Amino acid sequence: MNPKASSTARRFRLALLTGGGDCPGLNAVIRSAARTAFGLGWEVFGIEDGFEGLLTKRARQLHPRDVRGILHLGGTILGTSNRVNPFQTERRGADSAPPRAEDRSGEVVRNFKAMGFDALVAIGGDGTLGIALRLAKMGIPVVGVPKTIDNDIECTSVTFGFDTAVSTATDAIDKLHPTAEAHGRVIVVELMGRNAGFIALNSGVAGGADVILIPEIPFDMERVCDKIRAREKRHGGNYFSIVVVAEGARSKGGVVHLRAADRRGAPRLGGIGQWVAEEIEKGTGKETRSLVLGHLQRGGPPTTFDRLLGTRFGAAAVRAVRDGDFEVMVALNPPQIVRIPLGTAVGAGRTKKVTPESDVVLSARGLGISFGD
Ligand code: F6P
């Protein structure tokens, strides 16, 4: 159906979906997209729990009252899932038989049409947008909105959710400083980010960390210990240090640390902070503590920056639908919001990483922060 048609029997029906891990600012996007669509005279539907809702035909119509008062709320009013890929769903076999992977993408396309939707705004990270791209190729008119606290999506200078996560992490580092200093201890804080070090890098620099370990710069434990010893020597006695470690960081020649797999068997990053803390204690003899900031980084109200970016993304996505410009992702190319072909942004499993020569890394090095290399 043509989004611009005004005198047709039924109104244009826009579906919204949030997929992958939640992040602050999702509700700002939902509110903005819905309100912009209402302004165009469209009907708006919220698909529940990401692609799971398209497999099980669960969606509800959103009215202005449903998107009122949600701008400042974390989470997503639609629910989300980071384990459902319609191209690879799990089909349980008989009792003890292991589950088999099954492609149910055709069902998703049929359900989308049967539910009477005309276009989909998919709000998610590289996983969700990668699925959206494949569904677009199968005939679903899709516009993508990039979200993730990890900031690891290509073609957008930043994703919403990242600023809030960095603020939360910086706040944690600020709070660790006085207790580390009071006891002359080393405190290691492990932060999220998957295989990208943006959260650790930005919060580490903003929070005045002494050592920052990120996936893009493999580290040597001896160099990390050198830095801690040097600080102690310079201050002539028992002295504190703050070490920030991205969950995907690894030592030179080492491997990433994984926690026990989740209930579907998917590996989860984590555990490097504890390992680094133990190695520091062994290498320097200094009392060392570690903590994992975890899902606190995904919670709380979005910052002003994330609310604004989410609002701009949501409205821009609806304008793309209105223009019939599909298989694109809205992106920030300051100061503009632009449209990027989805394939360029997330095709072939592409993700963004910290550039070791970037100005943030260079500035951090200039300030004496060690990357352990
Ligand atoms: O991608 C967002 C993220 O929070 C990552 O930083 C982290 O590795 C992962 O999701 C955690 O996923 P889960 O919520 O499934 O534990």
Q: How confident is the model at residue 239 (pLDDT cuts 50, 70, 90)?
A: very high
CB of 293 shorter than 6 A to ligand 1: no
* Residues marked as catalytic: 150
Q: How confident is the model at residue 8 (pLDDT cuts 50, 70, 90)?
A: low
pLDDT at 99: 75
Compute the distance between CA of residue 86 and CA of residue 250 in angstroms, rounded to an integer: 32
- Phi then psi dihedrals of residue 367, to 5 deg: -85, -5
pLDDT at 275: 97
Four-residue CA torsion sign, 221, 227, 230, 236: negative
Q: Is the pLDDT of residue 6 over 60?
A: no
3 state SS of 10: coil
Task: Tell me the pLDDT of the chain averaged across its residues.
Answer: 95
Q: How far is the CA of 236 from the centre of ligand 1 (A)?
A: 41
Sheet holding 186-191, edge to edge: 211-213, 241-246, 186-191, 288-292
Torsion of CA 366, 367, 368, 373, to 10 degrees: -50
Angle 373-255-346 from CA coordinates, rounded to 5°? 90
Q: How confident is the model at residue 264 (pLDDT cuts 50, 70, 90)?
A: low
CB of 144 shorter than 6 A to ligand 1: no
Atom nearest to 194 CA in ligand 1: 8
CB of 149 shorter than 6 A to ligand 1: yes
Q: How would DSSP label each residue in 65-126?
A: GGGTT-TT--S-TT---SS--TTSEEE--STTSPPEEE--HHHHHHHHHHTT--EEEEEE-H
CB of 82 shorter than 6 A to ligand 1: yes
pLDDT tens, 175-224?
A: 999 999 999 999 999 999 999 999 999 999 999 999 999 999 999 999 99
Angle 26-160-27 from CA coordinates, rounded to 5°? 15
* Contacts (Cβ under 8 Å, ≥6 apart) of 244: 169, 173, 188, 189, 191, 200, 203, 204, 207, 209, 211, 212, 213
Least confident of 112-116, 155-159, 169-173, 235-239: 235-239
Q: How far is the CA of 125 from the centre of ligand 1 (A)?
A: 11
pLDDT at 261: 76
> DSSP strand E in 194-282: where?
211-213, 241-246, 258-259, 268-269
pLDDT tens, 46-94?
A: 999 999 999 999 999 999 999 999 999 999 999 999 888 999 998 776 7
